[in-house]
Structure 1
């Protein structure tokens, strides 16, 4: 009997192909029998793997077969966005586009000033943006950077959507900084008015909200705050 690891490997294989864009919305997956043969797995193991992907809204099943969801309700975790920055110099998933709603140099709220270890009156770069896939809004985010970065990377204060996806990679390249520490924190709560408006939801709708901190020995390189619509799935692998 195949170990539970086989079920995990099958699910991970198709999840990664969907996340990478290799399997696009509407693409048909191999039959359960074909997957079982390819992985030398029992039919029950294949069914468990596909059921997990269906629960996560990556796929849909019909009498004609199994397909990638037409309107996938998933987006990338902060960890996976950083991995894409390192791999392809873009923090957007395949098929995602973004719209920048604000890009400014401001005196931040106290909690942000403390995160960046700023003195009173110091400024930071604040960027507010929304990403989506087709008509589906996938994430609403605010990202913050040290003020000196604005002189080195002028596009940090540019709202042109075509410049947004590669900014983290550009910051790392120009500043010659390397992210050596990353942390994500997440919690579920009701959407406030600003978040609800951005995601097209009623105020008070349940959302998953999170923050990421990407830093090196010199301090914070990027601090981000983000939230996802209800029933969206994110995930990432880790070594136990």
Structure 2
């Protein structure tokens, strides 16, 4: 197997184990020699894989060995959050918790109304929430749902702790909808006052921001806007 592909596969292997929670913060990785033997590759290939993970803040190295970062600076992409909803009915990563700061029926901005194909004056559910891992804030988000969903899933209008992580799964179960199309749009920009306050940053700090749109043949099921603190890593695989 070409070393370039092996280097990427080794990095992906440990990245996935960290993202899944199988390797918890502070866990020690096998030695370079052990990884080299397990994968039957040169030590230089292992070093390249681990260097990539270190740049992404998944791991840290010390004279005593290589460890999963105690305060990892990564979070899940919208694609990976949807995959977790489908797999474990929660959109949070292992070790992440969330707090809902607003949950209400509102008349949305025009662009959101157009996304949901609403008439003027129609309402949608708006949920604003913040997620973190330990003391680290990992994502600030606003998610929107069709107003009729609030009748089937009253928790959509609740800010009670402990209910946010499974809200998408409950929406799908209650409505009988199944997400068949998903799109992410991502860009870098400066944080506005609301985003900076939520993430604990100075106004104007650089952030990575995006929006996801999950839908089926009946229309949009969930539209979300989110942003990450500086130097956070997200990633996902795709089949070329």
TM-score, normalization: structure 2?
Answer: 0.99
The corresponding residue for 2:125 is 125
The corresponding residue for 1:218 is 218
Q: Output aligned runs, 1:99-110, within 5 Å.
A: 99-110=99-110
State the Cα distance separating 1:2 from its structure 2 match: 4.1
The corresponding residue for 1:149 is 149
CA contact (8 A) 1:60 1:67 kept: yes
State the Cα distance separating 1:125 from its structure 2 match: 0.1
Q: Output aligned runs, 1:184-199, within 5 Å.
A: 184-199=184-199
Q: Any idea what SS the aligned residue of 1:166 has?
A: helix
Q: Any idea what SS the aligned residue of 2:46 has?
A: helix
RMSD over aligned Cα atoms: 0.7
The corresponding residue for 2:73 is 73
Mapped pair 1:14 → 2:9: no
Q: Output aligned runs, 1:24-43, within 5 Å.
A: 24-43=24-43
State the Cα distance separating 1:36 from its structure 2 match: 0.3
* Misfit runs of 4+, over 4 Å: none
Aligned equivalents of 2:226 and 2:76: distance in 1? 11
The C-alpha deviation readout for 1:45-100, integer Å capped at 9, x for no partner, is 00000000000000000111000001000000000000000000000000000000
State the Cα distance separating 1:163 from its structure 2 match: 0.5
Q: Any idea what SS the aligned residue of 1:137 has?
A: strand
The corresponding residue for 1:209 is 209
The C-alpha deviation readout for 1:105-141, integer Å capped at 9, x for no partner, is 0000001000000000000000000000000000000
Aligned equivalents of 1:161 and 1:85: distance in 2? 18
State the Cα distance separating 1:15 from its structure 2 match: 0.1
CA contact (8 A) 1:27 1:68 kept: yes
How many residues are matched? 240
State the Cα distance separating 1:217 from its structure 2 match: 0.5
The corresponding residue for 2:62 is 62
State the Cα distance separating 1:4 from its structure 2 match: 1.1
The corresponding residue for 1:94 is 94
CA contact (8 A) 1:180 1:216 kept: yes
State the Cα distance separating 1:3 from its structure 2 match: 2.8
The corresponding residue for 1:161 is 161
Q: Gaps (5+ residues) in structure 1?
A: none
CA contact (8 A) 1:2 1:41 kept: no
CA contact (8 A) 1:99 1:131 kept: yes
Aligned equivalents of 1:45 and 1:3: distance in 2? 6
Q: Any idea what SS the aligned residue of 1:165 has?
A: helix
Aligned equivalents of 2:187 and 2:167: distance in 1? 26
State the Cα distance separating 1:167 from its structure 2 match: 0.4
State the Cα distance separating 1:161 from its structure 2 match: 1.9
